[in-house]
Structure 1
Amino acid sequence: DLHFYRSTPTELGIRKGLVVGHEPSGIVRKTGSGATMFQIGDRVTVNHTLGCGKCMYCFQGETVLCAENRGIAIAGYGGDTNLLAIPETTCIPLIDNLSFIDGTFVACTGATAYNAAKRVISNDENNIAIFGLGPVGLSCILILQKMGAYVVGIDPNSKRREFAASLGVTNVSDFDTIINLKKQSPNLSGFNGSIETSGSFFAQSVAIDILAPKGRAVYLGLSKGKPSISPEQFIHKQITIIGSKV
Protein backbone atom coordinates (compact mmCIF):
# COMPACT_ATOMS: atom_id res chain seq x y z
CA ASP A 1 0.00 0.00 0.00
CA LEU A 2 2.90 2.38 0.66
CA HIS A 3 4.07 1.86 -2.91
CA PHE A 4 0.63 3.04 -4.08
CA TYR A 5 0.72 5.93 -1.63
CA ARG A 6 4.12 7.12 -2.87
CA SER A 7 3.40 6.69 -6.58
CA THR A 8 1.72 9.24 -8.83
CA PRO A 9 -1.75 8.68 -10.35
CA THR A 10 -0.09 8.42 -13.77
CA GLU A 11 2.25 5.67 -12.58
CA LEU A 12 -0.69 3.75 -11.14
CA GLY A 13 -2.90 4.19 -14.17
CA ILE A 14 -5.60 5.75 -12.02
CA ARG A 15 -8.58 7.09 -13.92
CA LYS A 16 -11.44 9.36 -12.93
CA GLY A 17 -14.09 7.61 -10.87
CA LEU A 18 -11.79 4.82 -9.66
CA VAL A 19 -12.68 3.42 -6.23
CA VAL A 20 -9.57 2.19 -4.44
CA GLY A 21 -9.27 -0.35 -1.65
CA HIS A 22 -8.66 -4.06 -1.26
CA GLU A 23 -9.13 -6.62 1.54
CA PRO A 24 -12.87 -5.84 1.96
CA SER A 25 -15.19 -7.90 4.14
CA GLY A 26 -18.94 -7.56 4.52
CA ILE A 27 -22.41 -9.02 4.17
CA VAL A 28 -24.06 -10.11 0.93
CA ARG A 29 -26.96 -7.71 0.33
CA LYS A 30 -28.02 -8.75 -3.16
CA THR A 31 -27.16 -11.52 -5.63
CA GLY A 32 -27.34 -11.62 -9.41
CA SER A 33 -29.55 -14.02 -11.33
CA GLY A 34 -26.64 -16.36 -12.06
CA ALA A 35 -25.18 -16.41 -8.54
CA THR A 36 -25.33 -19.82 -6.84
CA MET A 37 -22.52 -19.84 -4.27
CA PHE A 38 -23.84 -17.31 -1.74
CA GLN A 39 -27.12 -16.16 -0.25
CA ILE A 40 -28.28 -12.76 1.01
CA GLY A 41 -26.99 -12.35 4.57
CA ASP A 42 -23.84 -14.44 4.11
CA ARG A 43 -20.66 -13.00 5.62
CA VAL A 44 -17.73 -12.93 3.21
CA THR A 45 -14.28 -11.56 2.61
CA VAL A 46 -12.96 -10.85 -0.88
CA ASN A 47 -9.87 -12.08 -2.68
CA HIS A 48 -8.69 -8.86 -4.27
CA THR A 49 -7.17 -10.44 -7.40
CA LEU A 50 -9.34 -11.11 -10.45
CA GLY A 51 -8.31 -13.40 -13.30
CA CYS A 52 -9.64 -14.18 -16.77
CA GLY A 53 -11.54 -17.22 -15.48
CA LYS A 54 -10.45 -19.31 -18.46
CA CYS A 55 -6.76 -20.18 -18.07
CA MET A 56 -5.10 -23.08 -16.23
CA TYR A 57 -4.16 -20.91 -13.25
CA CYS A 58 -7.69 -19.58 -12.82
CA PHE A 59 -9.07 -23.13 -12.90
CA GLN A 60 -6.55 -24.04 -10.19
CA GLY A 61 -7.70 -21.10 -8.07
CA GLU A 62 -4.43 -19.18 -8.55
CA THR A 63 -5.82 -16.05 -10.16
CA VAL A 64 -2.74 -14.11 -9.06
CA LEU A 65 -0.75 -16.07 -11.68
CA CYS A 66 -3.21 -15.35 -14.50
CA ALA A 67 -1.61 -13.35 -17.31
CA GLU A 68 -4.65 -11.04 -17.22
CA ASN A 69 -4.90 -10.72 -13.44
CA ARG A 70 -5.78 -7.33 -11.97
CA GLY A 71 -6.63 -5.95 -8.58
CA ILE A 72 -10.25 -5.26 -7.72
CA ALA A 73 -9.57 -1.51 -7.46
CA ILE A 74 -7.97 -1.29 -10.91
CA ALA A 75 -10.87 -3.37 -12.25
CA GLY A 76 -13.32 -0.86 -10.81
CA TYR A 77 -14.44 -2.90 -7.79
CA GLY A 78 -12.49 -1.10 -5.03
CA GLY A 79 -13.42 -1.90 -1.45
CA ASP A 80 -13.45 1.63 0.02
CA THR A 81 -17.19 2.01 -0.44
CA ASN A 82 -20.38 1.05 1.38
CA LEU A 83 -21.68 -1.16 -1.43
CA LEU A 84 -19.45 -3.28 -3.65
CA ALA A 85 -20.35 -5.28 -6.77
CA ILE A 86 -17.97 -8.22 -7.12
CA PRO A 87 -17.95 -11.59 -8.94
CA GLU A 88 -19.03 -14.33 -6.54
CA THR A 89 -16.02 -16.45 -7.49
CA THR A 90 -13.74 -14.02 -5.69
CA CYS A 91 -15.70 -14.17 -2.40
CA ILE A 92 -14.61 -16.33 0.53
CA PRO A 93 -17.14 -17.35 3.22
CA LEU A 94 -16.38 -16.20 6.77
CA ILE A 95 -17.17 -18.69 9.52
CA ASP A 96 -19.01 -17.37 12.57
CA ASN A 97 -15.99 -17.02 14.85
CA LEU A 98 -14.07 -14.84 12.36
CA SER A 99 -14.77 -11.10 12.44
CA PHE A 100 -14.72 -8.79 9.43
CA ILE A 101 -11.30 -7.60 10.63
CA ASP A 102 -10.12 -11.21 10.63
CA GLY A 103 -11.50 -11.44 7.12
CA THR A 104 -9.36 -8.57 5.87
CA PHE A 105 -6.33 -10.41 7.24
CA VAL A 106 -7.31 -13.63 5.47
CA ALA A 107 -7.93 -11.80 2.19
CA CYS A 108 -4.40 -10.48 1.70
CA THR A 109 -1.83 -10.09 4.49
CA GLY A 110 -2.38 -13.51 6.02
CA ALA A 111 -2.60 -15.26 2.66
CA THR A 112 0.58 -13.53 1.48
CA ALA A 113 2.46 -14.58 4.61
CA TYR A 114 1.10 -18.13 4.50
CA ASN A 115 2.17 -18.61 0.88
CA ALA A 116 5.70 -17.44 1.73
CA ALA A 117 5.83 -19.68 4.81
CA LYS A 118 4.80 -22.71 2.77
CA ARG A 119 7.53 -21.99 0.25
CA VAL A 120 10.35 -21.49 2.75
CA ILE A 121 9.57 -24.39 5.09
CA SER A 122 11.18 -27.79 4.48
CA ASN A 123 10.94 -31.32 5.82
CA ASP A 124 14.22 -30.85 7.66
CA GLU A 125 15.11 -28.60 10.59
CA ASN A 126 13.73 -25.12 9.99
CA ASN A 127 15.43 -21.98 11.26
CA ILE A 128 14.18 -18.95 9.40
CA ALA A 129 15.23 -15.28 9.31
CA ILE A 130 12.50 -12.72 8.60
CA PHE A 131 13.59 -9.35 7.20
CA GLY A 132 11.05 -6.59 7.88
CA LEU A 133 8.75 -6.76 10.91
CA GLY A 134 5.74 -4.95 9.53
CA PRO A 135 2.32 -6.60 9.19
CA VAL A 136 3.44 -9.16 6.60
CA GLY A 137 6.72 -9.99 8.35
CA LEU A 138 5.00 -10.42 11.72
CA SER A 139 2.36 -12.60 10.07
CA CYS A 140 5.12 -14.77 8.60
CA ILE A 141 6.55 -15.14 12.09
CA LEU A 142 3.25 -16.20 13.68
CA ILE A 143 2.57 -18.74 10.94
CA LEU A 144 6.09 -20.18 10.96
CA GLN A 145 6.00 -20.52 14.74
CA LYS A 146 2.83 -22.61 14.39
CA MET A 147 4.71 -24.71 11.84
CA GLY A 148 7.38 -25.40 14.45
CA ALA A 149 10.15 -23.23 13.00
CA TYR A 150 12.80 -21.32 14.93
CA VAL A 151 12.43 -17.70 13.82
CA VAL A 152 14.68 -14.65 14.01
CA GLY A 153 13.29 -11.21 13.14
CA ILE A 154 15.35 -8.37 11.67
CA ASP A 155 14.25 -4.73 11.41
CA PRO A 156 15.89 -1.30 11.93
CA ASN A 157 12.79 -0.04 13.78
CA SER A 158 13.15 -0.64 17.53
CA LYS A 159 9.38 -0.52 18.15
CA ARG A 160 8.80 -3.27 15.63
CA ARG A 161 11.57 -5.37 17.16
CA GLU A 162 10.01 -4.91 20.60
CA PHE A 163 6.63 -6.04 19.33
CA ALA A 164 8.20 -9.06 17.63
CA ALA A 165 9.94 -9.92 20.91
CA SER A 166 6.55 -9.87 22.65
CA LEU A 167 5.56 -12.68 20.29
CA GLY A 168 8.51 -14.75 21.50
CA VAL A 169 10.78 -13.98 18.57
CA THR A 170 14.55 -13.90 18.87
CA ASN A 171 15.45 -10.65 17.15
CA VAL A 172 18.54 -8.73 16.23
CA SER A 173 18.89 -4.97 16.14
CA ASP A 174 19.09 -3.60 12.65
CA PHE A 175 21.07 -5.29 9.87
CA ASP A 176 23.99 -6.59 11.88
CA THR A 177 27.14 -8.09 10.35
CA ILE A 178 26.68 -11.28 8.36
CA ILE A 179 28.77 -13.21 10.88
CA ASN A 180 26.69 -12.03 13.84
CA LEU A 181 23.46 -12.78 12.01
CA LYS A 182 24.62 -16.31 11.29
CA LYS A 183 25.37 -16.76 15.00
CA GLN A 184 21.64 -16.36 15.62
CA SER A 185 21.02 -19.62 13.75
CA PRO A 186 21.01 -22.81 15.86
CA ASN A 187 23.82 -24.52 13.94
CA LEU A 188 25.88 -21.29 13.58
CA SER A 189 26.52 -22.03 9.88
CA GLY A 190 23.56 -20.04 8.63
CA PHE A 191 19.81 -20.22 8.32
CA ASN A 192 17.90 -22.84 6.35
CA GLY A 193 15.58 -20.16 5.01
CA SER A 194 14.89 -16.44 4.88
CA ILE A 195 11.93 -14.27 3.91
CA GLU A 196 12.49 -10.68 2.79
CA THR A 197 9.30 -8.60 3.16
CA SER A 198 10.51 -4.99 3.00
CA GLY A 199 11.72 -4.65 -0.58
CA SER A 200 15.08 -3.29 0.59
CA PHE A 201 17.80 -4.18 -1.91
CA PHE A 202 20.32 -4.42 0.92
CA ALA A 203 18.07 -6.79 2.85
CA GLN A 204 17.53 -8.91 -0.26
CA SER A 205 21.28 -9.35 -0.54
CA VAL A 206 21.81 -10.12 3.15
CA ALA A 207 18.90 -12.59 3.06
CA ILE A 208 21.05 -14.70 0.72
CA ASP A 209 24.37 -14.23 2.51
CA ILE A 210 23.11 -15.49 5.89
CA LEU A 211 21.86 -18.78 4.45
CA ALA A 212 23.53 -22.13 4.99
CA PRO A 213 24.33 -24.19 1.87
CA LYS A 214 21.17 -25.24 0.00
CA GLY A 215 19.12 -22.65 1.89
CA ARG A 216 16.01 -20.95 0.51
CA ALA A 217 15.47 -17.20 0.15
CA VAL A 218 11.88 -16.07 -0.42
CA TYR A 219 11.25 -12.54 -1.69
CA LEU A 220 7.95 -10.77 -0.98
CA GLY A 221 8.87 -7.09 -0.86
CA LEU A 222 8.75 -4.91 -3.98
CA SER A 223 10.88 -1.89 -4.84
CA LYS A 224 11.67 0.27 -7.83
CA GLY A 225 15.06 -0.05 -9.46
CA LYS A 226 17.44 -2.99 -9.81
CA PRO A 227 18.75 -5.14 -6.93
CA SER A 228 22.49 -5.54 -6.46
CA ILE A 229 22.72 -9.32 -6.14
CA SER A 230 25.68 -11.20 -7.61
CA PRO A 231 25.22 -14.77 -8.92
CA GLU A 232 28.22 -15.77 -6.81
CA GLN A 233 26.10 -15.16 -3.71
CA PHE A 234 23.84 -18.11 -4.53
CA ILE A 235 25.68 -20.32 -7.03
CA HIS A 236 28.47 -21.62 -4.79
CA LYS A 237 26.15 -22.50 -1.90
CA GLN A 238 23.41 -23.80 -4.24
CA ILE A 239 20.88 -21.37 -2.80
CA THR A 240 17.28 -21.47 -4.04
CA ILE A 241 15.71 -18.04 -4.65
CA ILE A 242 11.91 -18.01 -4.64
CA GLY A 243 9.45 -15.30 -5.56
CA SER A 244 6.18 -15.31 -3.65
CA LYS A 245 2.92 -13.38 -3.75
CA VAL A 246 -0.53 -13.55 -2.17
Structure 2
Amino acid sequence: MRAPADTIIPLDDALSFETGAAVGCGTGTAWGGLQRLGDIGGATIAVFGQGPVGLSATLLAAARGARVIAIDPMPSRLEHAARVGAEATLNPTECDVPTAVRDLTGGSGVPLVLETSGASPAIADGLGVLAPWGKIALIGLGGEVRFPVLGAHRLQISVLPSISMSIMAQRQCAEFIVSKNLDIDGLYSHRWRLDQVVEAYEWFDQQDAGKGVFLFDD
Protein backbone atom coordinates (compact mmCIF):
# COMPACT_ATOMS: atom_id res chain seq x y z
CA MET A 1 0.00 0.00 0.00
CA ARG A 2 1.34 3.41 -0.94
CA ALA A 3 1.22 6.13 1.72
CA PRO A 4 2.63 9.67 2.10
CA ALA A 5 6.09 9.56 3.63
CA ASP A 6 5.17 12.05 6.35
CA THR A 7 2.59 9.60 7.72
CA ILE A 8 5.14 6.83 8.28
CA ILE A 9 7.10 6.10 11.45
CA PRO A 10 10.01 3.65 11.63
CA LEU A 11 9.38 0.19 13.09
CA ASP A 12 12.26 -0.90 15.31
CA ASP A 13 13.85 -4.19 14.26
CA ALA A 14 12.92 -5.58 17.68
CA LEU A 15 9.21 -5.17 16.94
CA SER A 16 7.01 -7.37 14.79
CA PHE A 17 4.57 -6.05 12.22
CA GLU A 18 1.83 -7.26 14.57
CA THR A 19 3.12 -4.94 17.29
CA GLY A 20 3.37 -2.13 14.75
CA ALA A 21 -0.27 -2.67 13.81
CA ALA A 22 -1.28 -2.53 17.49
CA VAL A 23 0.64 0.71 18.05
CA GLY A 24 -1.17 2.19 15.06
CA CYS A 25 -4.54 1.29 16.58
CA GLY A 26 -5.64 -0.04 19.98
CA THR A 27 -2.33 0.05 21.85
CA GLY A 28 -1.56 3.52 20.56
CA THR A 29 -5.05 4.67 21.54
CA ALA A 30 -4.41 3.41 25.07
CA TRP A 31 -1.09 5.25 25.12
CA GLY A 32 -2.83 8.46 24.08
CA GLY A 33 -5.35 8.12 26.91
CA LEU A 34 -2.62 7.54 29.47
CA GLN A 35 -0.78 10.60 28.15
CA ARG A 36 -3.90 12.67 28.76
CA LEU A 37 -3.80 11.60 32.39
CA GLY A 38 -0.23 12.84 32.83
CA ASP A 39 2.38 11.32 35.13
CA ILE A 40 0.93 8.00 36.28
CA GLY A 41 4.04 6.52 37.88
CA GLY A 42 3.37 5.45 41.46
CA ALA A 43 -0.36 6.22 41.21
CA THR A 44 -3.34 3.88 41.30
CA ILE A 45 -5.37 3.78 38.11
CA ALA A 46 -8.67 2.02 37.43
CA VAL A 47 -8.93 0.77 33.84
CA PHE A 48 -12.54 0.08 32.83
CA GLY A 49 -12.85 -2.47 30.03
CA GLN A 50 -10.24 -5.11 29.26
CA GLY A 51 -10.74 -5.53 25.55
CA PRO A 52 -7.80 -4.82 23.21
CA VAL A 53 -7.52 -1.13 24.22
CA GLY A 54 -8.07 -1.77 27.91
CA LEU A 55 -5.56 -4.62 28.06
CA SER A 56 -3.03 -2.41 26.29
CA ALA A 57 -3.69 0.31 28.85
CA THR A 58 -3.25 -2.13 31.73
CA LEU A 59 0.05 -3.40 30.31
CA LEU A 60 1.39 0.08 29.54
CA ALA A 61 0.26 1.62 32.84
CA ALA A 62 1.85 -1.19 34.86
CA ALA A 63 5.07 -0.78 32.87
CA ARG A 64 5.00 2.94 33.67
CA GLY A 65 4.91 2.20 37.39
CA ALA A 66 1.19 2.50 38.13
CA ARG A 67 -0.87 0.19 40.31
CA VAL A 68 -3.66 -1.02 38.03
CA ILE A 69 -7.17 -2.08 39.02
CA ALA A 70 -8.67 -3.80 35.96
CA ILE A 71 -12.46 -3.95 35.56
CA ASP A 72 -14.44 -6.08 33.09
CA PRO A 73 -17.46 -8.43 33.16
CA MET A 74 -15.60 -11.24 31.32
CA PRO A 75 -13.49 -13.53 33.56
CA SER A 76 -11.15 -14.47 30.68
CA ARG A 77 -10.29 -10.83 30.10
CA LEU A 78 -9.66 -10.27 33.80
CA GLU A 79 -7.32 -13.26 33.82
CA HIS A 80 -5.44 -11.75 30.88
CA ALA A 81 -5.29 -8.39 32.66
CA ALA A 82 -3.71 -10.03 35.69
CA ARG A 83 -1.09 -11.66 33.45
CA VAL A 84 -0.07 -8.32 31.93
CA GLY A 85 0.28 -6.44 35.20
CA ALA A 86 -3.03 -5.68 36.93
CA GLU A 87 -2.63 -5.85 40.71
CA ALA A 88 -6.37 -6.26 41.27
CA THR A 89 -9.30 -7.25 39.07
CA LEU A 90 -13.02 -6.57 39.52
CA ASN A 91 -16.04 -8.05 37.79
CA PRO A 92 -18.98 -5.58 37.80
CA THR A 93 -21.46 -8.46 37.61
CA GLU A 94 -20.15 -9.77 40.94
CA CYS A 95 -19.58 -6.61 42.97
CA ASP A 96 -20.42 -2.94 43.31
CA VAL A 97 -17.40 -1.44 41.61
CA PRO A 98 -17.25 1.95 43.43
CA THR A 99 -17.48 0.18 46.79
CA ALA A 100 -14.88 -2.42 45.80
CA VAL A 101 -12.46 0.20 44.51
CA ARG A 102 -12.76 2.22 47.70
CA ASP A 103 -12.15 -0.96 49.71
CA LEU A 104 -8.94 -1.46 47.70
CA THR A 105 -7.82 2.13 48.29
CA GLY A 106 -8.57 2.60 51.98
CA GLY A 107 -11.76 4.47 51.20
CA SER A 108 -10.11 7.26 49.21
CA GLY A 109 -10.89 6.23 45.64
CA VAL A 110 -8.41 6.48 42.78
CA PRO A 111 -6.75 9.58 41.35
CA LEU A 112 -6.86 8.25 37.80
CA VAL A 113 -9.42 6.41 35.65
CA LEU A 114 -9.19 5.26 32.04
CA GLU A 115 -12.55 4.21 30.55
CA THR A 116 -12.25 2.14 27.38
CA SER A 117 -15.58 0.31 27.06
CA GLY A 118 -17.87 3.17 26.04
CA ALA A 119 -20.64 1.75 28.26
CA SER A 120 -22.62 4.35 30.19
CA PRO A 121 -22.72 2.27 33.42
CA ALA A 122 -18.92 1.91 33.28
CA ILE A 123 -18.51 5.66 32.79
CA ALA A 124 -20.79 6.27 35.79
CA ASP A 125 -18.73 3.86 37.90
CA GLY A 126 -15.55 5.53 36.67
CA LEU A 127 -16.79 8.87 37.92
CA GLY A 128 -17.91 7.21 41.14
CA VAL A 129 -14.46 5.85 42.02
CA LEU A 130 -12.57 9.13 41.59
CA ALA A 131 -10.80 10.68 44.55
CA PRO A 132 -10.84 14.47 45.01
CA TRP A 133 -8.89 16.18 42.20
CA GLY A 134 -9.08 12.93 40.25
CA LYS A 135 -8.96 12.66 36.45
CA ILE A 136 -10.88 10.39 34.11
CA ALA A 137 -9.91 9.91 30.46
CA LEU A 138 -12.71 8.67 28.19
CA ILE A 139 -11.65 6.52 25.24
CA GLY A 140 -14.65 4.26 24.66
CA LEU A 141 -17.32 5.57 22.30
CA GLY A 142 -21.08 5.28 22.48
CA GLY A 143 -21.85 6.05 26.11
CA GLU A 144 -23.08 9.17 27.85
CA VAL A 145 -21.43 11.13 30.65
CA ARG A 146 -23.81 12.36 33.35
CA PHE A 147 -22.89 13.77 36.74
CA PRO A 148 -24.19 16.43 39.15
CA VAL A 149 -22.20 19.61 38.67
CA LEU A 150 -22.27 20.40 42.39
CA GLY A 151 -20.67 17.09 43.29
CA ALA A 152 -18.04 17.44 40.58
CA HIS A 153 -17.36 21.01 41.68
CA ARG A 154 -16.67 19.87 45.21
CA LEU A 155 -14.39 17.07 44.06
CA GLN A 156 -12.59 19.24 41.45
CA ILE A 157 -12.49 16.30 39.01
CA SER A 158 -11.28 16.54 35.41
CA VAL A 159 -13.09 14.77 32.55
CA LEU A 160 -10.79 14.29 29.55
CA PRO A 161 -12.04 12.81 26.26
CA SER A 162 -9.24 11.13 24.31
CA ILE A 163 -9.10 9.61 20.84
CA SER A 164 -6.09 8.07 19.12
CA MET A 165 -2.75 9.89 19.19
CA SER A 166 -0.33 11.92 17.10
CA ILE A 167 2.39 10.43 14.92
CA MET A 168 4.92 11.66 17.49
CA ALA A 169 3.04 9.88 20.27
CA GLN A 170 2.91 6.70 18.17
CA ARG A 171 6.68 6.80 17.88
CA GLN A 172 7.05 7.43 21.62
CA CYS A 173 4.77 4.47 22.31
CA ALA A 174 6.81 2.20 20.04
CA GLU A 175 10.07 3.34 21.63
CA PHE A 176 8.67 2.72 25.12
CA ILE A 177 7.63 -0.80 24.13
CA VAL A 178 11.16 -1.50 22.92
CA SER A 179 12.78 -0.02 26.04
CA LYS A 180 10.60 -2.13 28.35
CA ASN A 181 10.61 -5.23 26.12
CA LEU A 182 6.83 -5.44 26.34
CA ASP A 183 5.00 -8.37 24.78
CA ILE A 184 2.43 -6.57 22.64
CA ASP A 185 2.11 -9.60 20.35
CA GLY A 186 0.71 -11.44 23.37
CA LEU A 187 -2.36 -9.19 23.29
CA TYR A 188 -3.55 -10.93 20.12
CA SER A 189 -5.90 -13.85 20.64
CA HIS A 190 -6.43 -14.70 16.95
CA ARG A 191 -4.35 -14.56 13.78
CA TRP A 192 -5.83 -14.81 10.31
CA ARG A 193 -4.80 -15.04 6.66
CA LEU A 194 -6.59 -13.01 4.01
CA ASP A 195 -8.35 -16.11 2.69
CA GLN A 196 -9.97 -16.44 6.16
CA VAL A 197 -11.51 -12.97 6.09
CA VAL A 198 -15.15 -14.14 6.27
CA GLU A 199 -14.44 -16.41 9.23
CA ALA A 200 -12.51 -13.59 10.91
CA TYR A 201 -15.30 -11.06 10.62
CA GLU A 202 -17.92 -13.56 11.77
CA TRP A 203 -15.78 -14.09 14.87
CA PHE A 204 -15.31 -10.34 15.30
CA ASP A 205 -19.07 -9.71 15.14
CA GLN A 206 -19.55 -11.84 18.25
CA GLN A 207 -17.74 -9.19 20.33
CA ASP A 208 -16.82 -11.70 23.01
CA ALA A 209 -13.18 -12.51 22.43
CA GLY A 210 -9.85 -10.73 22.17
CA LYS A 211 -7.96 -9.02 19.38
CA GLY A 212 -7.31 -10.43 15.91
CA VAL A 213 -4.76 -9.58 13.24
CA PHE A 214 -4.38 -10.41 9.56
CA LEU A 215 -0.97 -11.79 8.63
CA PHE A 216 0.53 -11.50 5.16
CA ASP A 217 2.79 -14.04 3.51
CA ASP A 218 6.40 -13.01 3.02
TM-score (norm 2): 0.68
1:122 shift after superposition: 3.2
**Residue type at the aligned position of 2:25:** C
Whether the aligned pair in 2 keeps the contact of 1:121 and 1:193 (CA below 8 Å) is: no
How many pairs does the alignment contain? 161
Greater fraction helix: 2
Structure 1 residues 135 and 173: alpha-carbon distance in aligned structure 2, compared to 1, 3 A threshold: same
Structure 1 residues 106 and 126: alpha-carbon distance in aligned structure 2, compared to 1, 3 A threshold: same
Deviations 1:159-205 (A, max 9, x none): 111111222411012263222221122x4310010000000111111
1:121 shift after superposition: 3.9
Quote the residue 1:167 is aligned against.
84
* Match for residue 108 of structure 2 among 189, 199, 212: 189
Greater RCO structure (CA 8 Å; 6+ sep)? 2
Quote the residue 2:190 is aligned against.
none
Whether the aligned pair in 1 keeps the contact of 2:138 and 2:162 (CA below 8 Å) is: yes
**Residue type at the aligned position of 1:171:** T
* Match for residue 244 of structure 1 among 142, 150, 162: 162
Give percent identity, aligned residues only: 33
Deviations 1:99-137 (A, max 9, x none): 111110121222211111122243784100000001110
The alignment status of 1:235 with 2:153, answered yes or no, reads: yes
Quote the residue 2:213 is aligned against.
none
Q: CA–CA distance in 1 between the matches of 2:54 and 2:121?
A: 16
Q: CA–CA distance in 2 between the matches of 1:168 and 1:90?
A: 32
The alignment status of 1:201 with 2:103, answered yes or no, reads: no
Quote the residue 2:204 is aligned against.
none
Aligned to 2:69, the other structure's residue is in SS state strand
Aligned to 1:236, the other structure's residue is in SS state helix
* Match for residue 179 of structure 1 among 85, 99, 103: 99
TM-score (norm 1): 0.61
Aligned to 2:136, the other structure's residue is in SS state strand
Aligned to 1:142, the other structure's residue is in SS state helix
Aligned to 2:134, the other structure's residue is in SS state strand
Deviations 1:1-20 (A, max 9, x none): xxxxxxxxxxxxxxxxxxxx
Q: CA–CA distance in 2 between the matches of 1:93 and 1:123?
A: 27
1:87 shift after superposition: 1.3
1:244 shift after superposition: 1.0
Which one has the largest radius of gyration? Answer: 1
- Counterparts of 1:67-78 in structure 2 under 5 Å? none
1:153 shift after superposition: 0.3
Question: What stretches of structure 2 of length at least 5 have no aligned partner?
Answer: 165-218
Whether the aligned pair in 2 keeps the contact of 1:113 and 1:140 (CA below 8 Å) is: yes
Question: What stretches of structure 1 of length at least 5 have no aligned partner?
Answer: 1-83
Alpha-carbon RMSD across the aligned residues, in angstroms, is 1.8
